[in-house]
Chain A
């Protein structure tokens, strides 16, 4: 039996939107998310004694203390997690581990992604716009700034495209098979009113006829960047038992990384997912067959194929066959990303990564509505950060 020390007991999630009508400071977003997630879990703010964030725009240094001050929280566990898209999953296990070692009992985990109110007199300026795709790699001394950026290897899509290209050459998978991942995700999004593509199903032909963005990846295999925000509440098993929703134990977890830029990945088609997932399954004492639904980070279609393989759900090189042979829909034989994934729901910054966790929690708690997977007790959720770099795997089990 895996860990039973800490459980997710509440969540809140804002519908991802391409345009956000109500700009707010990150701290204000956290306050609103905190109020909502505490109400969902029926936990009093005074019980919170841990905070996990990715940072605060309004306080680049001393971020946790700034947030504790803002929220009026006396906090014993204060963590900033920097793992790109794997950040939310990394946040959840850190919260659970902190609770298990006894340094805190109830932890707020925040993934806000909203624009700030316009700053008087400020102009982001053309240089800031120009540097956005560099993700900080332009700073003095950065290897990325000297080697990757001058070659045009910026943002994320070209790196994942190179993984897809290598995979196709090494193992052979058709572009139609990759397209099916996007189509099944979009099908699931039709049962999720929060999804940015709710009401907009697509077909294989739609994906195949969308334009190439970075070969071999096409537009409809790529997430839509959005604004949004979400939060979860993690607490001790003892406290969780008194919450209204079914506690969802963080029963196993693993994390692994080796590189930042894809150039230096030891093998771009044998990803850090493997070691993270192996550790998570071993810790939980759960077999792959026992998983009732999977919630896999899906910034691109290729990410899902690599995750299915490297997380051990099929042998290396057979991910394409696996995708062809299974329905990945919420009403199919292998439910995956039942919320539509980020491909169907939209990628609300780090909220995109968190959506894989909130959906797994909803499914295990039996509150996924129309898209509920029957008798869902064990979920696999993961996060992929950077350029197939940071990887965190979670096993989430209902009490």
Chain B
């Protein structure tokens, strides 16, 4: 579910199953579930998407990864984010395996490339912390 920040930004509403992930972000740590057979997976859910096993455990990741692909939104596809354009949306393959999505920060949108090494960046917005990525330092 989506709710909106004071300045109109769409924010995630954690659920009972995704709350530990968002709790981790609030502490500026990247925490995901790890299946003993299939490793880390994203997004959080009650069963491993590979084997439907429920014997996963939460674990902390390095936050390092590479850009699988990206785009630059120059049109404001979400009217609620129109004031933020241009911004880069990246799909990132974490070193530990899972792919997830976030905005690029601390980086000119024209400098983002496929294959670029990145690290997690944490952006506190009202009651939630969003995961983004910056060029690896």
Contacts and interface: CB of A to CB of B under 8 A. Distances in A.
A75 interface: no
A154 B71 CA distance: 12
Contact of B2 (A129, A138, A217): A138
Contact of A152 (B11, B45, B68, B73): B73
Given A129-B79, A133-B78, A165-B71, A148 B101 contact: yes
Interface string B5-29: 0000111111100100000000000
A215 B73 CA distance: 7
Contacts of B75: 157, 213-214
Given A214-B73, A214-B75, A153 B2 contact: no
A249 B27 CA distance: 60
Contacts of A203: none
Interface stretch (A139-147, A289-297, A310-318, A327-335): A139-147
B100 interface: yes
Contacts of B63: none
Contact of A157 (B77, B87, B102): B77
A150 B74 contact: no
Contact of A139 (B1, B18, B70, B91): B1
Interface residues on B, range: 35 or more
B114 A155 contact: no
B68 A166 contact: yes
A162 interface: yes
Interface of A: 129-131, 133-134, 137-143, 145-155, 157-158, 161-163, 165-166, 169-170, 211-217, 261-264, 268
19 contacts: A133-B77, A137-B2, A138-B10, A140-B15, A145-B12, A145-B13, A146-B12, A146-B13, A147-B101, A149-B12, A151-B130, A152-B73, A153-B101, A155-B77, A165-B70, A165-B114, A212-B72, A214-B71, A263-B99
Interface of B: 1-2, 9-15, 18, 43, 45, 68-75, 77-81, 84, 87, 89, 91, 99-103, 113-115, 130
Top 10 closest pairs, chain A to chain B, by CB? A169-B114, A161-B71, A166-B69, A146-B12, A162-B69, A155-B77, A140-B1, A138-B2, A215-B72, A214-B71
